């Protein structure tokens, strides 16, 4: 199976990868073989120490790069924040090379997870709502690419944590109440929310625990294997893993539930066996 990182690992070392709306890095730069150009309207104070990364302060609707100069464009949880996302997509069409490809990950703008996030954070910077079919059509038309693979992305409700004291009020929104909840009870509540929404989804076929989707688009055909839809996602770091792998590491496997430590960050999570067609 493939994912963003297996695809990035196949790149040549001189390939150019564009991270749109990079923040402190929208993906793990150390997992990418190519040269990275990271752009955002406001660059972070703490940037990556890797020498093959160039940071540019710019708007995604006016990308300051030459035509056909980018091999891979990545919009990883950022397109929902861009005021003129259609202009961003036309810019991607301009800068993407003839053999280039595009990764997009976005929330389901009409799902429970996005509604909860917008409610708590007073929008939280999400200025666009996407549904699957409309977004795929717009991306294909505006970037002149074709959809190769897609997967479901599941939420860990990772945003339900005490807000950063340095974050501006327009970012924290109504989330100040989270700071008043005892840490232990907040952890229990997030674990319970993850477990209950997944159990409901498993037995009723709903998508309460879904975050959104990940997509691979490309100018030309390229080999991309099935991208897994990880049903279990760490509440602390957002990493997803195969349920069979997590089960082999979990304890207290009762009625399809288990307790495991995230292989990436070590935090405790509840394991829920996924429904068919999910991992």
Instruction: Please state the rounded mean pLDDT for residues 74-90.
Output: 97
Assign 168 a pLDDT band (cuts: 50, 70, 90). Answer: low
* Residue 221 lies inside a defined structural domain of this protein: yes
CA atoms within 13 A on the CB side of 58: 17
Please, is 226 exposed, middle or buried when counting C-beta atoms within 10 Å of its C-beta (0-12, 13-18, 19+)?
Answer: exposed
138 and 250 together in one domain: no
Tell me if 230 sits within 8 A of 222, measured CB to CB.
Answer: no
62 and 99 together in one domain: yes
Q: What DSSP assignment string belongs to 189-203?
A: HHHHHHHHHHHHHHH
* Residue 143 lies inside a defined structural domain of this protein: yes
Q: What's the pLDDT tens digit per position in 218-243?
A: 999 999 999 999 999 999 999 999 99
Enter the pTM of the model: 0.93
* Residue 97 lies inside a defined structural domain of this protein: yes
222 and 93 together in one domain: yes
* Residue 117 lies inside a defined structural domain of this protein: no
- Determine the 3-state secondary structure of 25 from DSSP: coil
The count of domains in the chain is: 2
Pairing of strands 257-261, 251-254: antiparallel
75 and 167 together in one domain: no
**Cβ burial 237-258 (10 Å sphere, 16+ → b, else e):** ebbbbebeebeeebeeeeeeeb
Q: Which domain holds residue 199?
A: 156-207+232-279
* The Cα angle at residue 183 between residues 80 and 47, in degrees rounded to 5: 45
4 and 128 together in one domain: yes
* Residue 116 lies inside a defined structural domain of this protein: no
218 and 247 together in one domain: no
Tell me if 154 sits within 8 A of 240, measured CB to CB.
Answer: yes
79 and 177 together in one domain: no
Tokens of 107: 């929330």
pLDDT of residue 50: 72
pLDDT of residue 179: 80
pLDDT of residue 46: 66
34 and 80 together in one domain: yes
Q: What's the pLDDT tens digit per position in 179-210?
A: 888 888 999 999 999 999 999 999 999 999 99
* Residue 119 lies inside a defined structural domain of this protein: no
102 and 34 together in one domain: yes
pLDDT of residue 47: 64
* Residue 200 lies inside a defined structural domain of this protein: yes
Q: What's the pLDDT tens digit per position in 7-45?
A: 999 999 999 999 999 988 999 999 998 999 999 998 877
For the domain that residue 147 is a member of, what is the CATH number? 3.40.50.150
Assign 177 a pLDDT band (cuts: 50, 70, 90). Answer: confident
* Residue 194 lies inside a defined structural domain of this protein: yes
150 and 261 together in one domain: no
């Amino acid at each position: 199976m493939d994912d963003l990182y297996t695809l990035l690992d196949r790149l040549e070392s001189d390939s150019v990868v564009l991270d749109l709306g990079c923040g402190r890095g929208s993906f793990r730069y150390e997992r990418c073989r190519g040269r990275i150009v990271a752009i955002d309207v406001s660059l972070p104070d703490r940037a990556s120490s890797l020498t093959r990364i160039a940071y540019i302060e710019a708007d995604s609707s006016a990308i300051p790069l030459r035509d056909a100069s980018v091999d891979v464009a990545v919009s990883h949880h950022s397109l929902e924040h861009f005021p003129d996302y259609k202009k961003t997509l036309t810019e991607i069409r301009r800068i993407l090379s003839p053999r280039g490809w595009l990764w997009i990950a976005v929330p389901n703008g009409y799902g429970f997870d996005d509604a909860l996030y917008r409610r708590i954070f007073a929008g939280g910077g999400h200025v666009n709502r996407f549904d699957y079919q409309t977004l795929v059509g717009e991306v294909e038309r505006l970037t002149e690419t074709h959809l190769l693979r897609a997967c479901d992305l599941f939420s860990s409700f990772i945003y339900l944590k005490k807000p950063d004291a340095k974050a501006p009020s327009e970012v924290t929104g109504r989330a100040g109440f989270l700071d008043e909840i005892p840490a232990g009870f907040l952890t229990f509540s997030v674990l319970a929310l993850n477990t209950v929404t997944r159990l409901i989804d498993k037995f009723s076929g709903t998508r309460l625990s879904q975050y959104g989707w990940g997509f691979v688009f490309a100018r030309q055909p390229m080999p991309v294997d099935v991208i897994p839809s990880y049903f279990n996602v760490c509440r602390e770091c957002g990493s997803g893993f195969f349920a069979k792998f997590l089960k082999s590491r979990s304890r207290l496997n009762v009625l399809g539930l288990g307790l495991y430590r995230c292989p990436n960050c070590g935090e405790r999570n509840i394991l829920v066996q996924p429904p068919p067609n999910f991992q």
